[in-house]
Amino acid sequence: MKRFHISLLSMAVLSVSVILYSCGKTYVPGTQSGNWYRFVAPFQGPARSHAVGFVINQDGNGSGTSAYVGTGVDNYQTKYTDFYRATPSTDSSLTWAQVANMPGVGRTDAVGFAVGGEGYVGLGLDSAINVLKDFYKYDSASNNWTAVASFPGSPRYDAVAFGIQNYGYIGTGYDGRFYYGDFWRYDPSADAWQEWTTFTGTKRSSAVAFVYNNMGYVVTGVGESGGVVNDFYRFSPNDVPADQYHLAQSANSWLHLNAITNVSVSTFDDGYTDIQRSGAVAFVMTKVQSGISGTGGAKAFLTCGSAGTTTWEYDIASDLWTTRTAFENPSVNYAVAFTLQNRGFVTTGASGSSGVSSTCEFFPDQVYNQQD
Amino acid sequence: MSSRKFLIAGVIVLVVIAFYAAYIGQQKREFALSQQAKGMVYVEVLPIQTALGWGYEIHVDGKSYIRQEFVPAVFGRRGFDTKEQAVAVGNKVVSNINSKSSPAISIKDLEELGIPIKASDTLQKK
């Protein structure tokens, strides 16, 4: 009996001490600025930038079960058609697999979105600088690609796209001469495109889009003047009456949010020094514990691109931005970001003129640790 | 009385062992990370068998990096016909990683390794 007590007690002490020792990163409410973990399993394909990604089986907040990343350009100007699947794992954060190559030509600056278990990729720029409008569907269940209806708007690259419920939405972009502000809806069940309510902000390319609560957010990018733009909008597809979808700006589908530079007379935006940028990435995490004034909740994180490594948290409930721990690798332009099971990742991109394959995961509730 | 002393001594010894084990674990992890930072990694290929056929896993420093259940780059969820084919392609991935090139496989690689490719594997289906 006594021996039993001893072993029981020893086990308890043992577990407690192991737990205490392994909790190097303790949680202190309101004080974390977050930690970028730099040793996530790297992108499986050749290092590259200007790739595209989509996340299948998304909830209404853009978080899904697997991400697919492909196309883009390497350091030798080779443009790719290959695709790779990333799935969350516990030991290396991500496990990769190489899936079927996309049909069509190798390209950069394409767009991708997913509806259910199917991903859609199209538009972009090929190695002969042709601006593209072809579109392909990837079926994750069968690992097959098929051509679908081409984009009916002007061919373009550096547009934004997102999937919400049963539809995909694509808009903005650039074709080498003109910047665009039109928005289109793709209906997978009919394999058909329809022009949707025009984006009410400045026409732009290389903007950033993310999805929360079945609404699309489009922010920053390069405007017609060639400089970065500071206007920010929220798109609510379900607020468009069925008989008005074709009327530009007819419905309350585009809501103007706070500008991302210090333009108001209030003080909330006094610190908005370098949120605006191009070629950046963003991802949403819904269960963040820390944040502005210690309030948690749903946040989008914007990082990298032309403004460098600075990372901004967008608090969706309050429409306010605050700084977080800067991206801990050299800044990457035209990278790919995605959310899997509420975990945010950034992969690929151009560091200076070199494409990279490194992948980082952001832990918003951890304390900055420069060792990992 | 002596049994209580024995208990306390036992607990102290166990705590010391626990801390030492945790410390060694941490050292190992930091070593792996530093090796990773230096670009020095231990890579191995493990054949796997699934409902789709043969495939492979690539482990880097003992952690699963790639799990390839079907033939890469081509259409369809078709495993390799034989274990040898899966290992041959897995070894190509390992040699790519060891030569600091990317662990990607091209259709040309598959052909060179004698993996049967059907016309339907790459042609676009309508």
ipTM of the complex: 0.83
Closest-CA distance of chain A to residue B56, Å? 10
At B32, the pLDDT band (50, 70, 90 cuts) reads low
Of the residues A95, A148, A356, the best mutation for testing chain B's interface (the one with the most B CB atoms within 10 Å of its CB) is A95
Whole-number Å distance between alpha carbons of A338 and A320 = 22
Q: Which residues of A fall within a CB distance of 8 Å from B60? A: 41, 92
pLDDT in tens, B58-93: 999 888 999 999 999 999 999 999 999 999 999 999
Domain count across chain A: 1
- Are A210 and A304 in contact by the 8 Å Cβ rule? The answer is no
Q: Does residue B107 contact residue B122 with C-beta atoms inside 8 Å?
A: yes
Instruction: Please indicate whether, in this complex, the C-beta atoms of A143 and B77 are within 8 angstroms of each other.
Output: yes
Q: How far apart are CA A266 and CA A252, in angstroms?
A: 26
Asked if the structure places residue A217 within a domain, the reply is yes
Instruction: Check residue A13 and give its pLDDT.
Output: 46
Q: Do B7 and A9 touch (CB under 8 A)?
A: yes
Does A14 fall in a domain? no
Residue A96 belongs to domain spanning:
31-363
Give me A306's structure tokens: 């032309």
Residue A125 corresponds to which tokens in the numbers above?
Answer: 């720029």
Q: What gap in Å lies between CA A143 and CA A98, rounded to an integer?
A: 10
DSSP notation for A116-166: TTEEEEEEEE-TT--EEEEEEEEETTTTEEEEEPPP-S---BS-EEEEETT
Q: Are B116 and B71 in contact (CB under 8 A)?
A: no
Q: How does pLDDT run along chain A (372 residues), one tens digit per residue?
A: 445 454 544 555 445 444 444 443 344 444 569 999 999 999 999 999 999 999 999 999 999 999 999 999 999 999 999 999 999 987 668 999 999 999 999 999 999 999 999 999 999 999 999 999 999 999 999 999 999 999 999 999 999 999 999 999 999 999 999 999 999 999 999 999 998 888 989 999 999 999 999 999 999 999 999 999 999 999 998 755 555 555 544 455 889 999 999 999 999 999 999 999 999 999 999 999 887 666 789 999 999 999 999 999 999 999 999 999 999 999 999 999 999 999 999 999 999 989 999 999 999 999 998 888
What is the Cα–Cα distance from A226 to A35, expressed in whole angstroms? 33
Q: What is the dihedral of CA A190, A195, A197, A198, to 10 degrees?
A: 150
Inter-chain CB proximity B68 and A6 less than 8 Å: no
d(CA A255, CA A123): 26
- CATH value at residue A266: 2.120.10.80
| Cβ atoms A149, A191 nearer than 8 A | yes
Q: Which residue in A333, A250, A331, B95 sits closest to B105, CA to CA? A: B95
In a domain, residue A151? The reply is: yes
**Is residue A19 domain-resident?**
no
User: Encoding tokens for residue A265?
Assistant: 């007379």
User: How far, in Å, CA of A137 to CA of A28, rounded?
Assistant: 45
Cβ count within 10 A of residue B29 = 12
**Of all helices (H) and strands (E), which one includes residue B8?**
helix B2-37
Q: Which of B63, B68, B122 is closest, CB to CB, to A98?
A: B68
Contact status, residue A345 vs residue A64, Cβ threshold 8 Å? no
Phi then psi dihedrals of residue A262, to 5 deg:
-80, 80
d(CA A70, CA B27): 36
Question: Is position A5 within any domain?
Answer: no
Interface test with B, best of A75, A91, A98 (most B CBs within 10 A): A98
